[in-house]
């Protein structure tokens, strides 16, 4: 059974796309049940259906993140109950693969991962397609990240410590213009400055920190230095709050947060 999850489709265009998707699924012989989720908890009964294939109709990346986060919440074992067959370097099992119909017009995770975007193509991928497995990130606040995180950017420099594994990218003494914690490339640039070029399936997090550096003894100039590294886990400890965006969600980072990679944990039908 395939289960489309309609996430707040509120206007004629997206609603028509979702209905077209349902028609295409049925044309391909799928048994279809639709569920409209207005809150994360309403996703749980869908996630817990053994054998069901989930087809998500989503307005934005934040809604995709919400479904993946509920999958992790419901399916990840407690640290004390780690099964022997859990892949090395992972805290979650392989998540059930998602087929995603993007309803919004802004490029997002679906486009960046090269997944099908039209109702007929998404239905075909859900029924007869293959599975693409990619990395995702978890953090110590209990959430997940599929695309990436950008901290700072714009006209609000901040200070903080950024450590990736054993590498120190910022020690707290310099102003940071932007910091990218990237799995895919949605937030790997800031103000036309490329910070990182991540591969969402290489098993590593790409981290970059952009800082202003003053050069010259007599004619002082300011250039932007970008420090880059790849690794498994990054800790960011801001001295004061810094605005960040993660999978479309904008918030303030006010305390230390650690992100780590879950290699190959996310699955996508294509």
Please write the tens of the pLDDT for every residue from 44-96: 888 888 788 999 999 999 999 999 999 999 888 888 888 888 988 899 999 99
Is the pTM value of this prediction over 0.85?
Answer: yes
Q: What is the pLDDT of residue 6?
A: 45
pLDDT digits (tens, 9 = 90+) for 96-146: 999 999 997 777 999 999 999 999 999 999 999 999 999 999 999 999 999
Q: How far apart are CA 118 and CA 116, in angstroms?
A: 6
Over residues 139-162, mean pLDDT: 93
The answer to whether residue 10 scores a pLDDT higher than 50 is no
The answer to whether residue 11 scores a pLDDT higher than 80 is no
Over residues 36-47, mean pLDDT: 85
Strands of 178-182's sheet in order across = 221-231, 205-215, 178-182, 148-152, 242-246, 249-253
Q: What is the pLDDT of residue 9?
A: 42
Rg of the chain over all Cα atoms, to the nearest angstrom: 20
Which element (helix H / strand E) includes 234?
A: strand 233-238
The mean pLDDT value of the chain amounts to: 90
Question: How many CB atoms are closer than 10 A to CB 50?
Answer: 5
Task: Classify domain 2-129 at the CATH class level.
Answer: alpha beta
Q: How far apart are CA 27 and CA 86, in angstroms?
A: 37
Over residues 200-212, mean pLDDT: 96
Q: How far apart are CA 121 and CA 62, in angstroms?
A: 22
148-261: CATH topology: Tumour Suppressor Smad4 (2.60.200)
Question: How many CB atoms are closer than 10 A to CB 225?
Answer: 12
Map out the domains of the chain as residue ranges.
Answer: 2-129, 148-261
Q: What is the pLDDT of residue 88?
A: 86
Which element (helix H / strand E) includes 227?
A: strand 221-231
Q: What is the pLDDT of residue 113?
A: 94
Q: How far apart are CA 42 and CA 201, in angstroms?
A: 30
Q: How far apart are CA 268 and CA 55, in angstroms?
A: 10
Residue 207: both structure tokens together? 């981290």
The answer to whether 152 and 144 are in contact (CB under 8 A) is no
């Amino acid at each position: 059974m395939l289960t489309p999850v309609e996430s707040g489709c509120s206007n004629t265009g997206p609603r028509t796309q979702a209905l077209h998707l349902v028609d295409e699924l049925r044309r391909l012989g799928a048994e279809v049940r639709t569920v409209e989720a207005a809150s994360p908890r309403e996703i749980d009964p869908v996630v817990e259906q053994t054998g069901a294939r989930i087809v998500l109709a989503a307005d934005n990346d934040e809604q995709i993140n919400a479904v993946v986060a509920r999958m992790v919440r419901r399916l990840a074992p407690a640290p004390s109950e780690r099964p022997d067959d859990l892949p090395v370097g992972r805290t979650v099992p392989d998540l059930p693969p998602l087929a995603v119909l993007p309803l919004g017009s802004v490029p997002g995770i679906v486009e960046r991962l090269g997944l099908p975007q039209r109702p007929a193509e998404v239905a075909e991928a859900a029924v007869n397609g293959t599975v693409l497995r990619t990395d995702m990130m978890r953090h110590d606040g209990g959430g997940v990240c599929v695309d990436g995180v950008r901290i700072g950017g714009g006209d609000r420099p901040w200070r903080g410590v950024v450590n990736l594994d054993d590498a120190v990218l910022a020690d707290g003494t310099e102003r940071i213009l932007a910091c990218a914690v990237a799995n895919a490339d949605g937030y790997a640039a800031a103000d036309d400055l490329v910070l990182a070029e991540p591969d969402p399936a290489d098993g590593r997090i790409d981290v970059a920190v952009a800082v202003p550096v003053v050069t010259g003894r007599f004619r002082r100039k300011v250039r932007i230095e970008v420090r880059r590294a790849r690794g498994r886990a990054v800790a960011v400890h801001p001295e004061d709050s810094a605005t960040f965006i993660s999978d479309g969600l904008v918030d303030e980072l006010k305390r230390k947060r650690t992100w780590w990679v879950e290699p190959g944990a996310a699955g996508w039908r294509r």
